[in-house]
Structure 1
Amino acid sequence: MKYELKNLDKFRYVDEGKGEPLLLLHGLFGELSNFDAVIDCFKDRYRIIVPVMPLLDLDLIQTSVTGLARFVNKFVETLALEEIHLLGNSLGGHVSLIYVLKHPERVKTLILTGSSGLFENGMGDSYPKRGDYEYIKRKSGMTFYDPSLATKELVDEVFEITNNRMKVIKIIALAKSAIRNNLENELHNIQQPTLLIWGNNDIVTPPFVGEEFKKLIPNSELHFIDKCGHAPMMEVPEEFNKLLEPFLKKNTKRIPETV
C-alpha cells in the first residue's frame, strides 16, 4: 500500500484528497491496495477513504456481513461522513448494500463491482483447503481473467490465512453469513443512483448476477468489461475508472470556481 495509514480510535484507514467522500470497501481476501488506481485517479476531486475492514479481527459472534456493516456505521459516525459515494467490491459490496439499506440518509450514490448479496460461487464446498499451496494458488487465480495477476505475495497471504485455524473458522463464518443474507427482497428499497461494473469473465459472481442487481435496484445502470474477472478496479483499472468518472461527475455538486 503506497498511501499512509491513519489511526483514529480503533480504526485504521487511508484518507486522501478533498471533496465529497468516496468510501471504498474491499472484499474477503482484499486489501487497501486493491484501490490504488481509484485513489490515484480521483484524489484530486474527492476525499477518498478506505478503511481496513476487520474481516478476521471481530469476535466470532460478530463475524458476519451485518457485523461488518455495523463496523462501517461506527466508522462513518466517527469520521462524521455524509453524502457518501459508497463503492464496494465482492464482500465489500455486500456490506455496502446492507449499510445503504440501514442508513440511506448518509449515502449519495452506490457503486458495486463483483458484489455478493444475491449469488456467489466463490470458494466452493472444500475451500479453504489447508496445506495445499497449489490449490490456494489456483483458487486465488480464479479471481482474475488473467490468473497471473494472483501474485506470489497475494497467494502467500491467502495461504497463511488458510493455515490458521481460527482465521479459517472466521472465513467460513463470513461465507455462510453472506449466503444466508440474501438481499433479493430488499433491493427495491435502494433509491440512490447505483452504478454496477462487472467483469464479463467473473466466475465468482458471474455476469447474470450483475444483470439481476440491475433488475432489482430501481435507479441503476450496468456496464460489463471484457477480459475481466471479479476485481475490475485491479485488473482493468483504466476501463473501471472511465466508467466510474462520468457517474460520479453526474452525481457530484459542482463547486463554483473562484475568480
Structure 2
Amino acid sequence: MGAHWATWFALAYPDRVQQLILLGNPGRMLMTKTPTLLKMAMIPGLGKWFMKRQIPKSAKRAWGPLHRMGTDPAAVSALPQSFADCVYAFDHLPNYQLATLSLLRTMNQEKYHNALKESQLRELSVPMTLIWGTNDTFANPELGQEIAAVVQHGELLTVNGAGHEPWIDDPKKVGTIVRLRLKENHLRAAVSQTSANEW
C-alpha cells in the first residue's frame, strides 16, 4: 500500500516528488473490484479469523504469506532464516493484527473514496515506473499496463515469475531498474539546472 500513499503524496505535492518507482501492485489504482483476499478481511467476524490465518505460528512457517502473494518457491527457499525471523517478529508486534485489519478495511471500503481514479492519475506530473511481478496475486500486469497508459510519463516493467514483492524473486533485476531510474532522474535534474543557469 506504500505505492498507493506515495502516489497520493505526489499528486498533492508534485514539487516535492521527482519520480515514482512503485514495486508490486500499487494498491487501489484503477481497481473496480476488491481482490478476494482483501474482501475476506472486510467481512465482520471473518476479518479476525482471516488475520489469524495470515500470522505465522513459528519462524519456520513465516514463508506462508510470501507463497500466498505469488513469490517463486525457489526464491523463498534461497532466503536466509534471519529473514523469516524478522517476518515472524514483525507479524507478532503488539496490535499488528488490529492495525492491519483496520488499514485493509479503510483502504477497501468505497465510502472512504481511497481508490485512485483515471482522472486523478492523468493529473500526475511526475514519471511513474511500475515494477510488477507476473504472478502478483493481488492484480495482474494488465492492470499495470492500464495505469502506465493513463499516467503522463508512465512505464510498466514486469518481472517474470515474481509475486507481489518482486524484489524478493529477482533482487538483481529490480535493483538494476531502480538504479537506472535514479540515475536518469539525476541526469534530468542536472540538465534542467544547467538550462536554468544559462538563462
Q: Name the TM-score, length of structure 1 as normaliser.
A: 0.54
Is 1:176 matched up with 2:105?
Answer: yes
Taking structure 1 as reference, are residues 192 and 112 closer, same or farther at Cα in structure 2, changes over 3 Å only?
A: same
Please report how far the alpha carbon of residue 158 of structure 1 lies from its aligned counterpart in structure 2 after TM superposition. Answer: 5.0
Q: Is the 8 A contact 1:129 1:136 kept in 2?
A: no
Question: Residues 87-106 of structure 1 correspond to what in structure 2 (within 5 A)?
Answer: 91-106=1-16
Q: Is the 8 A contact 2:163 2:169 kept in 1?
A: yes
The structure with higher relative contact order (CA 8 Å, sep 6+) is 2
Is 1:138 matched up with 2:64?
Answer: yes
Taking structure 1 as reference, are residues 159 and 123 closer, same or farther at Cα in structure 2, changes over 3 Å only?
A: farther
Cross-structure match for 1:220: 154
Point out where structure 1 has 5 or more consecutive residues left out of the alignment.
1-90
Write the letter of the residue equivalent to 2:27.
Answer: S
**3-state SS in 1 of match to 2:51:** coil
Taking structure 1 as reference, are residues 124 and 133 closer, same or farther at Cα in structure 2, changes over 3 Å only?
A: farther
User: 2-side partners of 1:136 and 1:247: how far apart?
Assistant: 32
- Partner residue of 2:128 out of 177, 180, 194: 194
**3-state SS in 2 of match to 1:202:** coil
Give structure 1 regions of 4+ aligned residues with deviation exceeding 4 angstroms.
134-137
Is 1:129 matched up with 2:21?
Answer: no
Please report how far the alpha carbon of residue 200 of structure 1 lies from its aligned counterpart in structure 2 after TM superposition. Answer: 1.1
Cross-structure match for 2:84: 152
Please report how far the alpha carbon of residue 183 of structure 1 lies from its aligned counterpart in structure 2 after TM superposition. Answer: 0.4
Taking structure 1 as reference, are residues 238 and 140 closer, same or farther at Cα in structure 2, changes over 3 Å only?
A: closer
Is 1:238 matched up with 2:161?
Answer: no
Please report how far the alpha carbon of residue 100 of structure 1 lies from its aligned counterpart in structure 2 after TM superposition. Answer: 0.6
Rg larger in 1 or in 2? 2
Q: Is the 8 A contact 2:62 2:84 kept in 1?
A: no
Deviations 1:218-249 (A, max 9, x none): 21111111121112233312101222233222
Q: Is the 8 A contact 1:116 1:205 kept in 2?
A: no
Q: Is the 8 A contact 2:20 2:129 kept in 1?
A: yes
Moved more, 204-213 or 180-189: 204-213
The structure richer in strand per residue is 1
Q: Is the 8 A contact 1:194 1:221 kept in 2?
A: yes
* RMSD of Structure 2 on Structure 1 (CA): 2.9
Q: Name the TM-score, length of structure 2 as normaliser.
A: 0.68
Taking structure 1 as reference, are residues 159 and 92 closer, same or farther at Cα in structure 2, changes over 3 Å only?
A: closer
Write the letter of the residue equivalent to 2:88.
Answer: D
User: 1-side partners of 2:97 and 2:90: how far apart?
Assistant: 10
